Amino acid sequence: MTGRFVTFEGSEGCGKTTQIRLAAASLAERGIPVFETAEPGGTPLGRRIREILLNRGSCTIGAEAELLLFAAARAQHVREIILPALKEGTLILCDRFADATVAYQGFGRGLDADFIRILNAFSALSLKPDMTLLFDLPVATGLARAQKRAAGGQPETAEDRFEHEDYDFHERIRKGYLTLAAGEPDRFRIIDGAADVETVHREVCRCLAELS
């Protein structure tokens, strides 16, 4: 039995992390074996890389090094967690994956798109999501949400290196995601991330039902 691999993507403050938790909880309630994970993270190595990448005070990281660190976290995540779980028939819900690298390091930082495509395939061991839910919303709305969360004061929700980037950077990310979605309409589902949590959750459930 092979499981399914679903990724949740979107620009800052799009609500995907809340939605992944709600979706995992409602699937588990219905007895569906589900596993929730995130990038960068998901493994001990991934969590250490996440700390380096997201902590604004940690050290200077150039765009090339940033790209390779995300790729390293992904390679370990796929090998150690995702592929074994898929083999067991689990439905995996992953908070960001390779599309984030195209959107952020490609469209956002301006790194070479062809190289990113090759690196993504290498680091994902050629694994592609069965379905990708893109939570789309205006940049200003998302950034306002992210700033509100950061003002909440929890260290893990403090404004990170990416949220601190300028407005145009985030516009490029949004455009990048929409470009990716337009190029692979069979894989992507675009969900209105500006809608209220309950409405978005219903839409997520409707999309996930297509997998069964």
Segment near ligand TMP (CB under 6 A); pick from 29-37, 95-103, 148-156, 197-205 = 95-103
CB of 35 or CB of 70, closer to ligand TMP: 70
CB of 89 or CB of 113, closer to ligand TMP: 113
CB of 154 or CB of 212, closer to ligand TMP: 154
From 7, 19, 36, 70, residue interacting with ligand TMP (rule: CB under 6 A): 70
How far CA 110 is from CA of 50, 57, 71, 131, 168, in Å, comes to 21, 23, 16, 26, 12
CB of 101 to ligand TMP, least distance (A): 4
Does 204 sit near ligand TMP (CB under 6 A)?
Answer: no
Query: CB within 8 A of 44, min separation 6: which ones?
Result: none
CB of 164 to ligand TMP, least distance (A): 10
Count Cβ atoms below 10 Å from residue 93 Cβ, excluding itself. 25
Query: Exposed, middle or buried by CB within 10 Å (0-12, 13-18, 19+), for 152?
Result: exposed
Identify the residue whose tokens are 């994970």: 37
Does 169 sit near ligand TMP (CB under 6 A)?
Answer: no
Query: Exposed, middle or buried by CB within 10 Å (0-12, 13-18, 19+), for 151?
Result: exposed
User: Whole-angstrom Cα distance, residue 129 to residue 94?
Assistant: 9
Does 40 sit near ligand TMP (CB under 6 A)?
Answer: yes
CB of 33 or CB of 187, closer to ligand TMP: 187
CB of 32 or CB of 81, closer to ligand TMP: 81
**Nearest-CA neighbor of 7 among 124, 114, 117, 115?**
124
Q: Which residues of this chain interact with ligand TMP, rule CB under 6 A?
A: 39-40, 54, 70, 95-96, 100-101, 104-105, 162
